[in-house]
């Protein structure tokens, strides 16, 4: 992580906001070019994401996915590891859920199946993170390369299983049979409706609470535990970590387990929350977007919650754009998402030099503190 | 110090091949070159020696056009020149052979030599022309190279010849060699020296950067010594001695030279037996080092930087494991099959103030309070079970800062925001607060201001008087002489000898640092022959 010479609030609030604004500005130009009013488009997007019936529910549902994959990237990043393998780890997490739910569903009570399935998703994801971690720590294989390769491997394994051994009989789709009754998570709208508050149907389920819990857990881990201290020390300086006796290679493996586990739990939202069976490609790019989420959220759980909300709103509001405008297609929405990832991910530090000049001109230069 | 030996340049004398005038170069607050003036006579081999970080490489990089000087001038054959990039220096006849070769491993020797100088014609004819020119060059200078061999399959010595040919092919008349023998075997070194002599006889001027004194004595005509960015000595090689050069390289008289009462050595706290360290290439950086360290004494380890002292500290602190040999602390024995672990050693009461506080001792991006528990965060006073409590750690750090006078005493500042001296005091505070039995200290006052030096020295003596066993590694001879009770001198990974503080003189240590064992030292090292031998003898009788 680069050490910024900017005040913390600038780094955390102003820069992401400027990046977002730039992305929206460029997207607005393109929308204007194709002959639509950018401001109308923006308002449709915002209404679609937050105001229309069920919109907020969908937004938060997508937010949940991004929180898991964003946290996964962030935890690894604190040890200076770039985990690109969220897709594969989430896919394996889905497999973990499937194996538990299909083998134990109907055998033991549903709540236990659910708990074990969540554990299964984390363990399978962790396993898929540990292998590249081990290869990095002990063999020096670069984690970026291996995690990318492991995405393909995970995808192929799922295709092989879902089109073969695990495929539901008497139909043509590569998917498993549905899980036993009750092996699903409560939907938020069901809970609220039963309490007398009417809200529209949406796939939002209690995984959202699990995601927020994970945010808190990650915060405690990184900033309040000895392990987190060691992870950060290793990330900043492998030599210092060795000097202190932390065994950097084990830290790397452990961090990749935690990171993979978090990515794997994304499947809880999709598989246990909505699909109730394992399908192909349910990860649909959330793992990759998690990288942008973590970057934008500055690898801090609170930042990740807000960044996830933004990307959730984009997913849902973008779908609404597609629906409302003839000229704006689904691909257009992907382009807007791409712009946001470009400006808040790849070009995340574009405004730093300008702001640094601005702030160093307006605040007294901090002297080198001599004793 | 005879600084004017080659400065007889009146109006009529021949111009120097290279003449540097008042070269200054700073990197941030570090003055790498402080107003350096150097004249190199044409057709000589000119040695430039100094410790790591003395500024030799910076100076040569300026001459080669890698860096631009902040101020000062370069003259070649009396003509003022300024290079914005190496290609301009090359065009003016300057060639450089880097310590790490700049060769494409899977190219042939010929392809490597002409890389970037292929000529305008088609590659085929270019290669043919180059081949003829190179054959001529190799004959003149005795630089035999199989031009069609793949570079990576050739021995290192030959690869170096390719580098030299590369420079000559581009018309180099001044050749800079940066630590050329670091990667060579003794035989290859001899061959290199033959080549250098041939080059010299053909009128090529050679600048040889090295820290190996015997090479300087063997091959150079004139030698310049750099220390801390300054040119401190300049002399004809046949008028000097390795001992004098060693003193010039390390000797510093700026230190406050306090006299401390001698320590009272007690029980053995740490004993090392036959410790050897070798790297992947099989290079032995530590060779059969044996010694004993007692409670209540400071054993100083003297030597020119890079002669095995760093490896010794790394082995004893568990960072690297010895290839051969062992060391023991109390009833624990550590060797290659039972290597020491830094965390375990800390529990045993071994504290370590590392040589490089920026890379190891602190984490610059951490707040001071976080750095103040590096390696000690498991201390039960600092939090419950697995959790840490930042407030308790901040309080702990405040206490350390107050008792060690770290300024400003603010635990929330970043570690990088403190000056060198205060960073070092923080590291020292952390390591000493655990009340260690053995303290390993590397370069305690490197880059530290005078005030902090005194504080650090007094602290080390206080620890010694409390019965702590201290191993002090320092390249500052004054510091070693002032603090140590015994002094162990290292050269090329070996212990040259160990002398008592009372018997030690600077000139004697200088000789030993150059690898020459003195009578007193060899006598005491003879006494140090481990008991194993005598036990074996007894068995035989």
The answer as to whether A371 is a domain residue is no
pLDDT in tens, B17-30: 899 999 998 877 67
Q: Which of A164-168, B94-98, B242-246, B460-464 has the lowest mean pLDDT?
A: B242-246
Q: Select the residue of B356, B374, B407 nearest A233 (Cβ to Cβ).
A: B374
Residues of A in Cβ contact (< 8 Å) with B341? 245
Residues of A in Cβ contact (< 8 Å) with B362? 240
Residues of A in Cβ contact (< 8 Å) with B365? 1, 3, 236
Confidence tier at B253 by pLDDT (50, 70, 90): very low
The minimum CA-CA distance between A161 and chain B, rounded to whole Å, is 40
Q: Select the residue of A227, A240, A369 nearest B360 (Cβ to Cβ).
A: A240
Confidence tier at A32 by pLDDT (50, 70, 90): very high
Write the CB contacts of B325 (distance below 8 Å, at least 6 apart in sequence): B272, B273, B274, B275, B276, B288, B289, B290, B335
Q: Do domains B18-240 and B265-349+438-541 have the same CATH topology?
A: yes
The minimum CA-CA distance between B320 and chain A, rounded to whole Å, is 10
**Topology (CATH) of B18-240:** Rossmann fold (3.40.50)
Residue A318 contacts residue A333 (beta carbons within 8 Å) = yes
Beta bridge partners of B38: B20
Q: Select the residue of A230, A232, A371 nearest B452 (Cβ to Cβ).
A: A371
The answer as to whether A226 is a domain residue is yes
Confidence tier at A220 by pLDDT (50, 70, 90): very high
- The DSSP line for A265-309 is THHIIIIIIIISS--TTTTTTHHHHHHHHHHHTTT-HHHHHHHHH
Q: What percent of chain B has pLDDT over 70?
A: 87
The minimum CA-CA distance between B472 and chain A, rounded to whole Å, is 18
Whether A243 sits inside 8 A of B317 (CB atoms) is yes
Q: Select the residue of A225, A232, A368 nearest B387 (Cβ to Cβ).
A: A225
**B450-473: average pLDDT:** 90
Q: Which of A53-67, A191-205, B374-388 has the lowest mean pLDDT?
A: B374-388
Residues of A in Cβ contact (< 8 Å) with B378? 226
Whether A369 sits inside 8 A of B413 (CB atoms) is yes
The answer as to whether A54 is a domain residue is yes
Residue B348 contacts residue B364 (beta carbons within 8 Å) = no
**A190-214: average pLDDT:** 93
Angle at B367 between CA B364 and CA B369, to 5 degrees: 120
**Closest residue of chain B to A248, computed from CA coordinates:** B319
Question: What count of other Cβ atoms lies within 10 Å of the Cβ of residue B523?
Answer: 14
Q: Select the residue of B374, B416, B419 nearest A240 (Cβ to Cβ).
A: B374
Q: Is the pLDDT at A254 greater than 90, yes or no?
A: yes
| Tally of domains within chain A | 1
Residues of A in Cβ contact (< 8 Å) with B364? 236-237
The minimum CA-CA distance between B283 and chain A, rounded to whole Å, is 22
Residues of B in Cβ contact (< 8 Å) with A223? 390
Residues of A in Cβ contact (< 8 Å) with B386? 225-227
The minimum CA-CA distance between A8 and chain B, rounded to whole Å, is 13
pLDDT in tens, A120-138: 999 999 999 999 999 999 9
The answer as to whether A130 is a domain residue is yes
Write the burial class of residue A223 (CB in 10 Å: 0-12 exposed, 13-18 middle, 19+ buried).
Answer: middle
pLDDT at residue number B7: 40
Return the top range by mean pLDDT from A68-72, A197-201, A341-345, B457-461.
Answer: A68-72
Better pLDDT: A242 or B144: A242
Whether A233 sits inside 8 A of B363 (CB atoms) is yes
- Residues B236 and B223: their CA atoms lie apart, in Å, by 6
The single-letter DSSP state of residue A1 is -
The minimum CA-CA distance between B499 and chain A, rounded to whole Å, is 30
Whether B417 sits inside 8 A of A368 (CB atoms) is yes
Q: Is the pLDDT at A87 greater than 90, yes or no?
A: yes
Domain carrying residue A104: 8-353
Residues of B in Cβ contact (< 8 Å) with A225? 386-388
pLDDT at residue number A279: 95
> H helices within A105-247, ranges in order?
110-134, 143-162, 188-194, 207-224, 226-236, 238-244
Q: Which of A31-35, B62-66, B502-506, B521-525 has the lowest mean pLDDT?
A: B521-525
Q: Is the pLDDT at B202 greater than 50, yes or no?
A: yes
> Does A333 touch chain B if contact means CB atoms closer than 8 Å?
no
pLDDT at residue number B124: 65
* 3-state SS record for B442-475: ECCCCCCCHHHHHHHHHHHHHHHHCCCEEEEECC
pLDDT at residue number B215: 84
Residue B120 contacts residue B129 (beta carbons within 8 Å) = no
For chains A and B, count residue pairs whose Cβ atoms are closer than 8 Å: 98
pLDDT at residue number B539: 30
Q: Is the pLDDT at B123 greater than 90, yes or no?
A: no
Mutate to test the interface with B, among A245, A246, A247 (most CBs of B within 10 A): A245
> H helices within B25-153, ranges in order?
56-63, 86-91, 109-114, 123-141
The minimum CA-CA distance between B362 and chain A, rounded to whole Å, is 7
pLDDT at residue number B1: 38
Q: Which of A73-77, B313-317, B455-459 has the lowest mean pLDDT?
A: B455-459
Residues of B in Cβ contact (< 8 Å) with A226? 377-378, 383, 386-388
pLDDT in tens, A324-352: 888 888 788 788 888 888 887 777 778 88
β pairing state of B486-491 and B494-500? antiparallel
Whether A368 sits inside 8 A of B419 (CB atoms) is yes
pLDDT at residue number B450: 64
**Closest residue of chain B to A242, computed from CA coordinates:** B319
Backbone torsions φ then ψ of A36, nearest 5 degrees: -110, 160
Return the top range by mean pLDDT from A212-221, B89-98, B104-113, B169-178.
Answer: A212-221
The answer as to whether A180 is a domain residue is yes
pLDDT in tens, B287-310: 999 999 999 999 999 988 778 899
Mutate to test the interface with A, among B319, B342, B413, B451 (most CBs of A within 10 A): B342
Whether B388 sits inside 8 A of A224 (CB atoms) is yes
Q: Is the pLDDT at B538 greater than 50, yes or no?
A: no
pLDDT at residue number A206: 95
Q: Select the residue of B354, B363, B451 nearest A236 (Cβ to Cβ).
A: B363
> Does A8 touch chain B if contact means CB atoms closer than 8 Å?
no
The minimum CA-CA distance between B442 and chain A, rounded to whole Å, is 13
Q: Is the pLDDT at A371 greater than 70, yes or no?
A: no
Residues of A in Cβ contact (< 8 Å) with B414? 3
The answer as to whether A368 is a domain residue is no
Q: Which of A17-21, A89-93, B378-382 has the lowest mean pLDDT?
A: B378-382
Phi-psi region of B466 (alpha: psi -120 to 50; beta: other; left: phi over 0): alpha
Q: % helix / strand / coil in chain B, to the nearest 5?
A: 35, 25, 40
The Cα-based distances of B433 to B36, B54, B372, B374, B379 in angstroms read 44, 34, 10, 12, 12
The minimum CA-CA distance between B317 and chain A, rounded to whole Å, is 8
Name the residue ranges covered by the structural domains of chain B. Answer: 18-240, 265-349+438-541, 358-435
Closest by alpha carbon to A162, among A154, A151, A152, A173?
A: A173
Confidence tier at B525 by pLDDT (50, 70, 90): very low
> Does A224 touch chain B if contact means CB atoms closer than 8 Å?
yes
Confidence tier at B258 by pLDDT (50, 70, 90): low
Mutate to test the interface with B, among A228, A233, A241, A243 (most CBs of B within 10 A): A243
pLDDT at residue number B475: 80
The minimum CA-CA distance between B235 and chain A, rounded to whole Å, is 39
Residues of A in Cβ contact (< 8 Å) with B422? 369, 371
Confidence tier at A367 by pLDDT (50, 70, 90): very low
**A349-356: average pLDDT:** 82
Q: Is the pLDDT at B528 greater than 80, yes or no?
A: no
Question: What count of other Cβ atoms lies within 10 Å of the Cβ of residue B92?
Answer: 17
The answer as to whether A367 is a domain residue is no
Q: Residue B531 has which token pair?
A: 């008991």
- Residues B450 and B207: their CA atoms lie apart, in Å, by 35
The minimum CA-CA distance between B417 and chain A, rounded to whole Å, is 6
Q: Is the pLDDT at A366 greater than 60, yes or no?
A: no
**A273-302: average pLDDT:** 92
Q: Is the pLDDT at A368 greater than 80, yes or no?
A: no
**B397-411: average pLDDT:** 91
Residue B368 contacts residue B414 (beta carbons within 8 Å) = yes
Q: Which of A233-237, B169-173, B327-331, B522-526 has the lowest mean pLDDT?
A: B522-526
Q: Residue B280 has which token pair?
A: 């992947």
Q: Of the CATH numbers 3.40.50.300, 3.30.1950.10, 3.30.2350.10, 1.10.530.10, which one belongs to the domain with range B265-349+438-541? A: 3.40.50.300
The minimum CA-CA distance between A80 and chain B, rounded to whole Å, is 13
Estimate the crossing angle of helix A86-104 against helix A248-264, to 10 degrees.
60
Q: What is the CATH number of the domain that holds A201?
A: 1.10.3470
pLDDT at residue number B251: 64
Whether A237 sits inside 8 A of B387 (CB atoms) is no
The answer as to whether A148 is a domain residue is yes
Q: Is the pLDDT at B530 greater than 50, yes or no?
A: no
Q: Which of A26-30, A357-361, B348-352 has the lowest mean pLDDT?
A: A357-361
Residues of B in Cβ contact (< 8 Å) with A243? 317, 319, 342, 352, 354, 360-361, 374-375
Mutate to test the interface with A, among B320, B360, B415 (most CBs of A within 10 A): B360
> Does A369 touch chain B if contact means CB atoms closer than 8 Å?
yes
**Closest residue of chain A to B392, computed from CA coordinates:** A224
- Residues B515 and B527: their CA atoms lie apart, in Å, by 19
Residue with tokens 């390369």: A145
pLDDT at residue number B122: 64
Q: Which of A366-370, B49-53, B159-163 has the lowest mean pLDDT?
A: A366-370
Whether A240 sits inside 8 A of B363 (CB atoms) is yes
**A192-202: average pLDDT:** 90
**B80-103: average pLDDT:** 87
* Residue B165 DSSP SS3: helix
């Amino acid at each position: 992580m680069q050490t910024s010479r900017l005040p913390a609030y600038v780094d955390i609030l102003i820069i992401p906001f400027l990046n977002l604004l730039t992305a929206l500005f460029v997207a607005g130009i393109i929308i204007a070019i194709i002959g639509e009013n950018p401001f109308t488009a923006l308002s449709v997007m915002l209404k679609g994401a937050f105001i229309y019936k069920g919109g907020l529910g969908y937004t938060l549902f997508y937010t949940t996915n991004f929180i898991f994959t964003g946290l996964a990237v962030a935890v690894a990043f604190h040890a200076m590891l770039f985990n690109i393998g969220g897709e594969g780890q989430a896919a394996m997490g889905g497999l973990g859920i499937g194996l538990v739910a299909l083998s134990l569903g109907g055998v033991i009570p549903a709540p236990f199946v659910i708990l074990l399935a969540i554990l299964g998703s984390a363990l399978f994801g962790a396993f898929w993170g540990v292998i590249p971690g081990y290869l990095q720590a002990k063999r020096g294989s670069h984690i970026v390369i291996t995690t990318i390769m492991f995405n393909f491997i995970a995808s192929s394994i799922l295709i092989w299983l879902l089109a073969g051994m695990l495929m539901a009989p008497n139909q043509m789709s590569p998917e498993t049979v549905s899980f036993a009754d009750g092996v699903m998570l409560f939907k938020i709208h069901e809970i609220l409706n039963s309490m007398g508050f009417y809200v529209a149907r949406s796939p939002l389920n209690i995984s959202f609470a699990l995601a927020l819990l994970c945010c808190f857990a990650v915060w405690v881990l990184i900033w309040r535990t000895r392990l987190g201290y060691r992870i950060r020390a290793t990330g900043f300086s492998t030599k210092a970590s060795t000097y202190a006796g932390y065994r950097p290679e084990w830290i790397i493996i452990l961090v990749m387990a935690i990171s993979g586990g978090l990515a794997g739990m994304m499947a809880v939202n999709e598989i246990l929350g909505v699909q109730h069976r394992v399908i192909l490609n349910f990860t649909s790019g959330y793992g990759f977007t998690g990288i942008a989420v973590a970057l934008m959220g500055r690898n801090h759980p609170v930042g990740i919650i807000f960044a996830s909300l933004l990307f959730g709103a984009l997913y849902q509001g973008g779908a609404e754009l597609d629906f409302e405008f003839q000229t704006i297609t689904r691909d257009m929405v992907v382009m807007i998402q791409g712009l946001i990832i470009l400006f808040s991910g790849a070009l995340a530090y574009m405004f730093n030099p300008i702001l640094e000049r601005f702030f160093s001109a307006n605040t007294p230069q901090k002297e080198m503190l001599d004793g | 110090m005879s600084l004017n030996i080659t400065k007889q340049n009146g109006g009529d004398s021949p111009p120097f091949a290279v003449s540097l005038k008042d070269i200054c170069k700073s990197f941030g607050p570090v003055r790498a070159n402080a107003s350096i003036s150097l004249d190199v006579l044409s057709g000589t081999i000119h040695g430039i020696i100094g410790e790591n970080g003395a500024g030799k490489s910076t100076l040569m990089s300026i001459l080669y056009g890698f860096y631009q000087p902040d101020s000062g001038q370069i003259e070649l054959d009396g003509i003022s020149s300024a290079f914005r990039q190496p290609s301009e220096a090359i065009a003016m006849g300057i060639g450089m052979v880097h310590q790490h070769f700049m060769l494409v491993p899977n190219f042939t020797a010929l392809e490597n030599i002409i890389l970037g100088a292929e000529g305008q014609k088609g590659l085929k004819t270019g290669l043919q022309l180059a081949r003829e020119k190179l054959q001529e060059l190799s004959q003149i200078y005795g630089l035999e190279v199989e031009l069609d061999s793949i570079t990576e399959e050739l021995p290192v010595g030959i690869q170096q010849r390719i580098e030299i040919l590369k420079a000559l092919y581009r018309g180099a008349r001044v050749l800079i060699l940066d630590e050329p023998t670091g990667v060579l075997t003794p035989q290859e070194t001899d061959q290199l020296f033959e080549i250098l002599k041939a080059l010299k006889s053909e009128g090529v001027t050679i600048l040889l950067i090295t820290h190996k004194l015997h090479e300087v004595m063997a091959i150079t005509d004139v030698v310049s010594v750099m220390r801390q960015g300054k040119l401190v000595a300049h002399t004809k090689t046949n008028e000097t001695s390795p001992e004098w050069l060693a003193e010039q390289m390390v000797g510093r008289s700026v230190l406050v030279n306090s006299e401390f009462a001698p320590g009272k050595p007690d029980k053995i706290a740490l004993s090392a037996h036959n410790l050897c360290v070798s790297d992947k290439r099989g290079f032995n950086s530590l060779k059969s080092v044996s010694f004993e360290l007692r409670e209540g004494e400071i054993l100083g380890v003297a030597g020119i930087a890079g002669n095995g002292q760093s490896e010794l500290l790394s082995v004893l602190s568990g960072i690297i494991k010895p290839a051969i040999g062992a060391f023991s602390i109390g009833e624990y024995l550590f060797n290659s099959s039972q290597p020491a672990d830094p965390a375990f050693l800390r529990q045993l009461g071994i504290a370590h103030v590392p040589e490089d506080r920026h890379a190891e001792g602190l984490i610059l991006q951490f707040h001071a309070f976080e750095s103040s528990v590096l390696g000690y965060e498991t201390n039960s006073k600092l939090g419950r079970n697995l959790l840490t409590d930042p407030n308790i750690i901040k309080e702990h750090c405040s206490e350390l800062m107050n008792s060690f006078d770290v300024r400003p005493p603010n635990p929330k500042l970043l570690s990088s925001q403190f000056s060198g001296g205060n960073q070092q005091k923080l590291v020292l505070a952390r390591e000493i607060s655990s009340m260690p039995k053995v303290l390993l200290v590397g370069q305690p006052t490197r880059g530290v201001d005078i005030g902090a030096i005194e504080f650090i020295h007094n602290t080390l003596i206080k620890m010694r008087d409390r019965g702590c066993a201290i191993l002090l590694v320092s390249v500052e001879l004054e510091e070693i002489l002032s603090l140590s009770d015994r002094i162990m001198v290292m050269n090329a990974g070996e212990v040259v000898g160990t002398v008592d503080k009372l018997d030690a003189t600077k000139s004697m240590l200088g000789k030993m640092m150059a690898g020459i064992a003195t009578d007193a030292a060899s006598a005491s090292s003879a006494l140090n022959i481990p008991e194993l031998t005598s036990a074996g003898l007894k068995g035989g009788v």
